[in-house]
């Protein structure tokens, strides 16, 4: 019984490593264009939708990816507006938030679903919130040549929405 459990756990670890490895090696992108690998690509996509194994792990790799900036403001019943920041009390929560924002721009549906869930959480946390404004920007990183010519990091707005609570 103990050996069977070890084998099953080992298989799951190996499967997870396989899906991560095909993403970070860019084999997944290659598989998408090959009909013979459609089943493997579909399995990787399904598995990644549950585990986020498709994040490219930019925080481990030497590649530099433009990061996302989420700005949220809350307006209360008295029409006072203040910024809202998610509670990211530890490294695990910061890493999860980083991974979540990495999935934000995958599709219009993703952006809407993330924004709606953020607004619902905020309105559940703040009983006086009547409006939530969400703006998501992506920092554009200059090349070394552009930086030498004076260009700096600039935020490009990607998504903006407002949610209001109607009573």
* 99-152 pLDDT tens trace: 778 778 778 888 999 999 999 999 999 989 999 999 999 888 888 899 999 999
CB atoms within 10 A of CB 154: 11
C-alpha count within 13 angstroms, C-beta hemisphere, residue 128: 8
What is the pLDDT at residue 167?
A: 55
pTM of the model: 0.59
DSSP 141: P
């Amino acid at each position: 019984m103990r050996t069977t459990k070890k084998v099953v756990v080992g298989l799951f670890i190996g499967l997870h490593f396989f899906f991560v490895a095909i993403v970070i090696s860019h084999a997944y992108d290659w598989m998408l264009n090959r009909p013979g690998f459609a089943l493997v690509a579909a399995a990787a996509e399904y598995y990644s939708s549950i585990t986020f194994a498709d994040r490219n792990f930019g925080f481990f790799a030497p590649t530099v990816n433009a990061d996302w900036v989420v700005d949220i403001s809350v307006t209360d019943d008295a029409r006072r507006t203040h910024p809202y920041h998610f509670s990211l009390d530890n490294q695990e929560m910061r890493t999860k938030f980083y991974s979540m924002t990495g999935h934000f721009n995958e599709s219009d549906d993703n952006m809407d679903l993330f924004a709606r869930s953020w607004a619902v959480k905020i309105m559940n946390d703040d009983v006086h919130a009547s409006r939530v404004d969400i703006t998501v920007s992506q920092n554009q990183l200059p090349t070394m040549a552009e930086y030498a010519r004076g260009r700096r990091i600039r935020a490009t707005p990607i998504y903006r929405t407002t949610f209001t609570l109607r009573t």
